[in-house]
Amino acid sequence: MSSKVLIIGAGGVGGVVAHKCAAARDVFSDVMLASRTLSKVTAIAAEVEQLQGRRIQTAQIDADDVPALTRLLRDYQPKLVINVALPYQDLHIMDACLEAGVDYLDTANYEPLDVAKFEYSWQWAYQERFKARGLMALLGSGFDPGVTNVYCAYAQKHLLDEVHYVDIVDCNGGSHGKAFATNFNPEINIREITARGRYWEQGEWKETDPLSVSAMFDYPGVGERKSFLLYHEELESLAKNLRGLKRIRFWMTFGEAYLKHLEVLGNVGMTRIDEVMYEGKGVIPIRFLKALLPDPASLAAGYSGKTSIGCLVEGVKNGERKRHLIYNICDHAETYKEVRAQAVSYTTGVPAVTGAVMMATGKWRGEGVFNMEEMDPDPFLADVATRGLPWHVEER
């Protein structure tokens, strides 16, 4: 059975999702890309036609306008929506899906505009409404969250009887040649990195000052890199869903130049998210900064090097202590060749498409709101490997 899919958001990730949905002819009978700025939508659609040889439909939509989005959903009647706009839109898109009776998928959990805080409570609160409508919402189907959650589910199903310790390790060993740029939406990225660090241990959340804890980690395909402890949203659902867990943390690498720029920008107030009056007009510094920084999608041409992201899982198998690293390596230049995107957009967009394929084909099915680790990891991992993100397991 083949299905219609509606993609919302025409940024770096939206471009990858559009290419990969168009390429999945056997699953998606019809593909529509809709976003706030129509020129970005039509530019992606033209590239998809050129590279995939398939025409996709396009629409202009402000996803925060729930009645307008509901009308678009009722007219187009997709099987599901892939939300790759920004986390601020999550609840509005979920509301429209409920109104129109459409399944929902995203790659990042809801964040309110005026507080740099992300947690699942707002979206988990939709559980009963999705259930009552017989609909499915799949949360966080990117790489991290997303594939990392599925790696943990795989470890729990196949590698270990009990998973005790998880360290999610995320390295972008690539270079875009700019003095300072972010690899995905700058506002969301900077809000995440400048927040206080947090990890879960023995049933409790422990906080650290931003970027104050670091460790060296040997990333396959990249080598040793200094990695910083951050709070990341998948920790919340994995702490709840992994049996016997004792500790879970998240680590990400940053270069010296990136950290120096971030420190200076923070010191002068450019990363503030509250309104500042300037010449009689209200300005939000982080929004202004976003306007100055390179568009993440524009970094793709000429990006070299690799990303290496995985889960280091430790626990017990048949009474013995075991430690495995499950990971993927992705090459910026290769992803550019394939879909004109850098590897950060690619590693987010491909799992979103695999999640959508799982839902459209019924391999993953449920009524209500789900995190990735609640589903069977096997069909997802088999599919994501064929779409461009092979994975490996190494005993450490």
- Binding residues vs ligand NDP (CB under 6 A): 8-14, 35-37, 40, 61-64, 84-87, 89, 107-108, 142-146, 184-185, 188, 296-297, 348
Strands 103-106 and 80-83: parallel
The minimum distance between CB 230 and ligand NDP, in angstroms, equals: 13
Q: Residue 213 carries which DSSP code?
A: -
- Nearest CA to 86 out of 55, 118, 58, 56 is that of 118
Dihedral (Cα; 146, 368, 376, 234), 10-degree rounding? 30
* Phi, psi (deg, nearest 5) at residue 368: 125, -160
The minimum distance between CB 291 and ligand NDP, in angstroms, equals: 10
The minimum distance between CB 321 and ligand NDP, in angstroms, equals: 30
The minimum distance between CB 111 and ligand NDP, in angstroms, equals: 9
Decide whether 12 or 78 has the Cβ nearer to ligand NDP.
Answer: 12
The minimum distance between CB 109 and ligand NDP, in angstroms, equals: 9
Element (H, E) at 267: helix 256-267
Strands 3-8 and 28-35: parallel
The minimum distance between CB 233 and ligand NDP, in angstroms, equals: 8
The minimum distance between CB 62 and ligand NDP, in angstroms, equals: 5
Q: What is the CA radius of gyration of the chain?
A: 20
Decide whether 156 or 348 has the Cβ nearer to ligand NDP.
Answer: 348
Q: Residue 77 carries which DSSP code?
A: -
User: How many CB atoms sit inside 10 A of residue 75's CB?
Assistant: 9
Greatest distance between any 2 Cα atoms in the chain: 68
Per the CB < 8 A criterion, the answer to whether 79 and 3 are in contact is yes
Decide whether 6 or 160 has the Cβ nearer to ligand NDP.
Answer: 6
Decide whether 189 or 304 has the Cβ nearer to ligand NDP.
Answer: 189
Decide whether 108 or 229 has the Cβ nearer to ligand NDP.
Answer: 108
Q: Is 367 left (phi over 0), alpha (psi -120 to 50) or beta?
A: beta
Decide whether 160 or 347 has the Cβ nearer to ligand NDP.
Answer: 347
Decide whether 40 or 225 has the Cβ nearer to ligand NDP.
Answer: 40
Decide whether 30 or 64 has the Cβ nearer to ligand NDP.
Answer: 64
Whole-number Å distance between alpha carbons of 390 and 373: 18
- Inter-CA distances, 22 with 45, 48, 251, 352, Å: 10, 7, 34, 13
Residue with nearest beta carbon to ligand NDP: 11
The minimum distance between CB 154 and ligand NDP, in angstroms, equals: 17
Token code pair at residue 216: 């060296």
